[in-house]
Structure 1
Amino acid sequence: MEPIALAVIGGTGVYKLAALDDVQTHDVETIYGAPSGPVRVGLLNGQRVAFLARHGEGHSIPPHKINYRANLAALKQLGATRVLALNTVGGITDNFGPRVLACPDQLIDYTWGRISTLSEEAGSEVLHVDFGHPYTPSFRAKVLAAAKAKGVVMQDGGCYGATQGPRLETNAEIARMRRDGCDLVGMTGMPEAGLARELGLEYACLAIVANWAAGCGEAEEITMAEVLANVEAASAGLPTLVGELAKG
């Protein structure tokens, strides 16, 4: 099987990579079950790039029901070694307002009840991976370099707080997250990042800020129309960025 230069996992509002040519569809089964949907593999700037919609291509899977293990295992089975995770998030602190692209360097996990390790089944190896830097530093550097090379404005760093969902957070919960040091809030950052580390995949997050989190900014109510419009605007440079990153 030909190697895959880059695998991309799309979040809310990003259900395909339209820039891919010669797309082949792979329905993959893993030891953890089926992923969220088919993996689309195509060419971008002459490089093989894989794409998987985290919530399914029709956004039918809520955050707590995603089979994160199967998603990552499917990409690895197809030959991926590097995963760029696109996460639609809310902004908490001043530098992370709507339509900002950010490449966070830290995270805090507030989720519960999700299968969060490859060590879940009886008899499986007990894995104690180093997770001090939850996103692969060398891969993060390449994401930032690709953005700079293509003129895509990106916020370097920040802390992603992963919440349970699918409901949005209360004002008090966001205030607590701000005190904890979170800059961004999303629902799918974990256990995905931890599982990627256990699988030995290089992994980085590209956070797409769709709205201010509860109690931040001026909007009193967050609407899906607003979220999707902001995601579309912030994602305009993604094909160019992914194509540059796939080069190596």
Structure 2
Amino acid sequence: MAKIAHSYDDPVRIAVIGGTGLQTLAGFTHIATLTPTTPWGAPSSPISILHHPSPSTGKPFPIAFLSRHGLHHELAPHEVPSRANIATLRSIGVRTIIAFSAVGSLQEEIKPRDFVVPDQVIDRTKGIRPFTFFEGGMVGHVGFADPFDPALAKIVQQCGHSLAGEGVRLHDKGTVVCMEGPQFSTRAESNMYRSWGGSVINMSALPEAKLAREAEIAYQMICMSTDYDCWHDSGDVTVEMVMGNMKANAENARRFVGAVLDELSKDEHENLVLAKHVEGSVKFAGGITAPAGRSKEAKERIAWLFPGYFD
């Protein structure tokens, strides 16, 4: 068995954030385990660096893997240190994130075990979770009209459809309602979300997607429906139901994510993987606070995340 290193010198451009049901990536070679720290604390889990052969060159292509809820699923949704997670990934070179999440379905046509590539989010979190890097003496505003990356979504959709008929049923778009949790919805809430046009519901899309946008990282979530939310007459949502469907469809989830990584590791997608289309977008957004008004602490934190940006 190869020895696992505790450092990795080359930049890692793609990361997978695994949620409920996707806590490892089978078939990838584990090269290193990193235990970084950031000004926002430590991430949810150590970062696993995995090697994946590029279909273009055959050379090893590094992937970073982070377990959102901890190695043993010990972190509740409101306890996930999202700022540390995103800051850590950017610091090792990540510019593209594929995030996986279990979700409840708010629409009849999205059946349990279906996959959804969402394009919109409705925020129903309650301000408990820290949700920005720009605070405490440095203000920054970034656009969030389209919370997921459309170019990345196209590749994810293509990969999902290529697996159709092999147990994968894909919905090309949808609106994620991100609730606070950790309790599931009331029936009144569930019906309200349906009336708003919600497609699926989870507890993980935010602030993760917002922070990725602030960090100039292309971000796309892949959702897997594990249940009909409590609006449906099939019965109330239980942890047993969620985990049962996750376990039954885990192999499809791994194959789906693996197909996306295969495609992204091709040379033709280099500019997308490097997020060239959003590179530098925060320079102006974060420059709204005049230098005289920037606190020492805020400057140090932002300089850690964006070296040289606001000198």
Q: TM-score, normalised by structure 2?
A: 0.75
2:143 counterpart residue number: 130
1:80 counterpart residue number: 94
C-alpha distance in structure 2 between counterparts of 1:8 and 1:49, whole Å: 7
Residues 112-144 of structure 1 deviation map (CA, whole Å, 9 limit, x = unaligned): 121111113x223x2211111100111111111
Structure 1 residues 4 and 145, CA gap change in structure 2 (3 angstroms): farther
- Structure 1 stretch 18-27 or stretch 167-176: which is displaced more? 18-27
What are the ranges of 5 or more consecutive residues in structure 1 without an aligned counterpart? none
Map 1:221-232 to 2 at 5 A: 221-232=236-247
> 1:10 and 2:18 equivalent?
yes
> 1:157 and 2:173 equivalent?
yes
Residues 152-211 of structure 1 deviation map (CA, whole Å, 9 limit, x = unaligned): 542100000000000011110011111111110000111111111000000001001111
Contact in 2 for aligned 1:16/1:57 (Cα 8 Å): no
User: Could you say what the CA RMSD is over the residues aligned between the two structures, in angstroms?
Assistant: 1.6
Q: Secondary structure at the match of 1:160?
A: strand
C-alpha distance in structure 2 between counterparts of 1:175 and 1:194, whole Å: 26
Map 1:193-232 to 2 at 5 A: 193-218=209-234, 220-232=235-247
- How far the C-alpha of 1:217 sits from its partner, in A, is 4.6
Residues 83-136 of structure 1 deviation map (CA, whole Å, 9 limit, x = unaligned): 01101110010222210111000010000121111113x223x22111111001
Map 1:1-248 to 2 at 5 A: 1-45=9-53, 46-112=60-126, 113-120=128-135, 122-124=136-138, 126-151=139-164, 152-218=168-234, 220-237=235-252, 238-239=254-255, 240-247=258-265, 248=269
Residues 17-58 of structure 1 deviation map (CA, whole Å, 9 limit, x = unaligned): 122213310001111111101011111233211111100010
**Which amino acid in structure 1 is aligned with residue 247 of structure 2?**
E
Contact in 2 for aligned 1:100/1:234 (Cα 8 Å): no
- Structure 1 stretch 90-99 or stretch 235-244: which is displaced more? 235-244
C-alpha distance in structure 1 between counterparts of 2:86 and 2:192, whole Å: 31
Contact in 2 for aligned 1:23/1:41 (Cα 8 Å): yes
Q: Percent identity?
A: 32
- Structure 1 stretch 96-105 or stretch 220-229: which is displaced more? 220-229
Residues 216-247 of structure 1 deviation map (CA, whole Å, 9 limit, x = unaligned): 251x2323222122123333232432432432
**Which amino acid in structure 2 is aligned with residue 229 of structure 1?**
G
**Which amino acid in structure 1 is aligned with residue 171 of structure 2?**
Q
Structure 1 residues 130 and 40, CA gap change in structure 2 (3 angstroms): same
Decide which structure has greater strand share.
1
Decide which structure has greater helix share.
2
Structure 1 residues 8 and 108, CA gap change in structure 2 (3 angstroms): same
C-alpha distance in structure 2 between counterparts of 1:165 and 1:178, whole Å: 18
C-alpha distance in structure 2 between counterparts of 1:42 and 1:242, whole Å: 15
Contact in 1 for aligned 2:17/2:100 (Cα 8 Å): yes
Q: TM-score, normalised by structure 1?
A: 0.93
C-alpha distance in structure 2 between counterparts of 1:19 and 1:71, whole Å: 24
- Give the structure with higher Rg (CA): 2
What are the ranges of 5 or more consecutive residues in structure 2 without an aligned counterpart? 1-8, 54-59, 270-311
- How far the C-alpha of 1:76 sits from its partner, in A, is 1.1
**Which amino acid in structure 2 is aligned with residue 23 of structure 1?**
I
- How far the C-alpha of 1:149 sits from its partner, in A, is 3.7
- Structure 1 stretch 185-194 or stretch 39-48: which is displaced more? 39-48
**Which amino acid in structure 2 is aligned with residue 145 of structure 1?**
Q
C-alpha distance in structure 2 between counterparts of 1:73 and 1:119, whole Å: 13
